[in-house]
Every structure is written in structure tokens, then in C-alpha cells.
Amino acid sequence: MSLHLSWVDSANLARSDFPLNNLPCGVFSHGPEDPRCGMAIGDFVLDLTALEEEGLLTLTGGPYLDVPFWNEVMEAGPDIWADLRAQVTAHLAKGAPTRAAIEPHLLPLGAVTLHLPFLVSEYTDFYSGKHHAMNVGTMMRGAENALPPNWLHIPIGYNGRASSVVVSGTPVRRPWGQVKGPDHAVPAFQPSRRFDIELELGAVVGQGSTLGRPVTVEEADAMIFGFVLLNDWSARDIQGWEYQPLGPFQAKATATTISPWIVMTAALEAHRTSTPEREKPLLPYLHEPRPMLFDIELEVALAPMGQPETVIARTNYKEMYYSAAQQLAHHTTSGCAMNVGDLLGSGTISGPQKGNRGSLMELSWGGKEPFEVAGGTRSFIEDNDTLTLRGYARGDGFKIGFGACVGQVIPALADPYARKK
């Protein structure tokens, strides 16, 4: 696919995450104004709420953009999604006759505050990266038992906390929890010392399903409005004590940071790719009628306080063993109803090489192999470290980017149960 030229010059630059081909959806505020819906274009955000108010954007059944979240647009369905993209594309295209009316509604990205782009209904995190599962399983159980027997047959996941989902830039406080080392008879309650990230992509569910009725993989694919970068912060020492037999709980409940822009599935269509060859045949309900993954390059950078960032990992979403559509379809097999605004984490995205590992636990091999960053080394996250995820699908001279997904880890509370009087 070639670059679609815009009269917004910065959108035509190869460095931009937000060319006209992209048009990701976000929520922003400017000064004392209330948050409102917008789309990123080049170095600007286009105020769609204002366009709808002025009749420059008309969607059947609207208004949809008079609220500070994208859920109402998502609930309106794929025809509205397509119409919205078509109208905004026409307004921003090079030579558009409406430029004079549209241009006053552009605001520099550097002058706005970005907010959560949608109301998160529920959050489910999967464990669908084979390289990550092999690495973690090898550390915990040995290479011969790295993958659980069900892993090659079923997308494994757990229900997380929607209340912990925060937008990029929100500080993340180091959590307290129960920790038990191998040489201790009883657990201790203390701040996590093995705090970590997980590099993931989050699928945003734009259409719900009916209680009691599973959906197919093809139906699930059509239900996904778009994707965000997702950092599922993880307290490995808390998880190591609590996860048997029921899996992650408090170790994963501290925070889940997402990028402020939803890249719509429509913007990624030209970058579809297939899931890998199966080692074990999947059951028919998980079969994919066409490519369901996307070729999205990803990276993780770590910056200690006062130091420049170091890119510590590079990988690609096409490394996933299960697609978001398979995860969503499997989620409904019990009859579980999915809601508009549900968020599905892909699971940690790692690749086959050491430099492709999407978590510090893998990069340091459980703390045994510290790696270098500016100003020192790391095994796990230290206080005041800033972690940044980036991602984009590469076009011919342009990219479909997600913006940055940033979080700084701040020190644990001195006494988590102290109360001001």
C-alpha cells in the first residue's frame, strides 16, 4: 500500500506514526476544556467532537462523539467505523475542498493531554506467545516440560482487572505483596523486588456477543475495533508464590498501561499475516479462514532516571501463536458474553533470539544474566526507571504507528496501610 497524501504536511513524513493511512482514535483535552474525541494526523490531533457539532462530520444515528470515549462509536458497528474513516480521510486528503473549515480544529499534539481512549468494560490477558511461554516454562520447569500439555491446543488466559488499566504516562507504583523465597519457611509481606513488564498488543472489542452463543473466528475478527500497545506490569516474586494452582492474581493487578491511540483494524488490513504452522492440529472452531495476525514491529526501551533510554528488546506481533480473533472466539466458547470496550491482552510478545524477549525476566533469565542499560545494568525494574513500548506496521515509505506507551515506576509506599487523619 502506498502513502495517502494529506494537506497536513507532517503526516507525509516517513518519521510520522500518524499518516493519513492510519487515523488512530484517541481522547484529548486542551487547557481547561473537557476531554473529547479526536484522531491523530501527523503532529496534530483533529477535534472530531467539534467537527460533529458543526456538521462537518455526519454519521447515521449520531451524535456519537459528544462523549469523552470511543465506546459509542464502537457500539454503532462496522458500517459507522468505515464511514467515519472515509469522511475524515476526505477532509484531510491533499487538495480537499474542506481544508479551510477543518484546519481550525487541528491542535498540536504537544499542546494536549491524552486520556484513556475508551471505557474498559473488562480485561482478559492471554499467554499466547510461544517463545515467551517456552522461556518462562524452561526457567520454572525445565526445557522438557516448558509448555503445559494444553498450550498447543488452547489459548490460555486469565481474567484481569479493568480498574487497573491506565493510559500511557501514568506513574506506576511498585506494589506490595506476599513473597516467599525458597529458603524461607513462611512468606513475608514486602514491596516487590522483581517488578517487570510484558510487551503486548491489546485488542479492543468493538462489538459485543450474546450470552450463551459462541462466535466463530471470522465473526470475532469483525468484532475487533482496533489495537493498542499494552504493558502488563508483573510482580514476578509475588506471582511465583501465588500462582499455583489458579494462576496470576495480585501479581498482575498493579497496573496495565495502554497507548493513548487505538489503531483501527482497518488501518492494518494491508499488514495481515498468518499464524505459524501448527505443531498440533487445532480443533475446528479455532481454524482461521484467512490471515489473522499483523506484521507489527515492536520495541521496548528502558531509561533510568537522568539517563538516556536504551532499547532492550525488538520483536514483532507476527510471532504470536494465537491471533486476537482466535482468543476472542475461544473466550466465547462457554457462552460468555463479550462487551463493547472489552480489552484482550495478547500475552508477552517475544521472538526466537535473546534480543527479541518482551520481558525483563526473559532478558535477564530470571535475574541470572543482568543486561546493560545507560548508567549500569538491570535484572528487573528499579525505582524511577521509565519503560517505553513502541510499535508500527511498515508501509512503503511510511508507517502505521501506535505512539508511545510509557510508564515510570515510582517507589513503593513506605507503609501501605498508613492512613492520614
| CATH code: domain of residue 389 | 3.90.850.10
- pLDDT tens sequence across 338-355: 999 999 999 999 999 999
Please indicate, yes or no, whether residues 87 and 180 belong to a single structural domain of this protein: no
- pLDDT tens sequence across 178-210: 999 888 899 999 999 999 999 999 999 999 999
Please indicate, yes or no, whether residues 85 and 180 belong to a single structural domain of this protein: no
CA dist 201 and 227 (Å) reads 7
CATH number of the domain that residue 22 is part of? 2.30.30.230
* 421 has a pLDDT exceeding 70: no
* 278 has a pLDDT exceeding 60: yes
Q: What are the residues facing 387 on neighbouring strands?
A: 302, 407
CA dist 301 and 372 (Å) reads 12
Active-site residue list: 132
Amino acid 140: pLDDT: 86
Over residues 285-297, the mean pLDDT reads: 97
Closest to 235 in 3D by CA, of 250, 216, 220 = 250
Please indicate, yes or no, whether residues 16 and 164 belong to a single structural domain of this protein: no
**250 is written with which cell numbers?**
495480585
Residue 17: domain span:
9-115
Cα dihedral 290, 227, 90, 7, rounded to 10, equals -120
Q: What contacts 10, CB < 8 A, 6 or more positions away?
A: 16, 42, 43, 44
Q: What are the residues facing 392 on neighbouring strands?
A: 297, 401
Please indicate, yes or no, whether residues 275 and 299 belong to a single structural domain of this protein: yes
Considering 95, 115, 135, which residue would you say is the last residue of a domain? 115
Q: Into how many domains does the chain fold?
A: 2
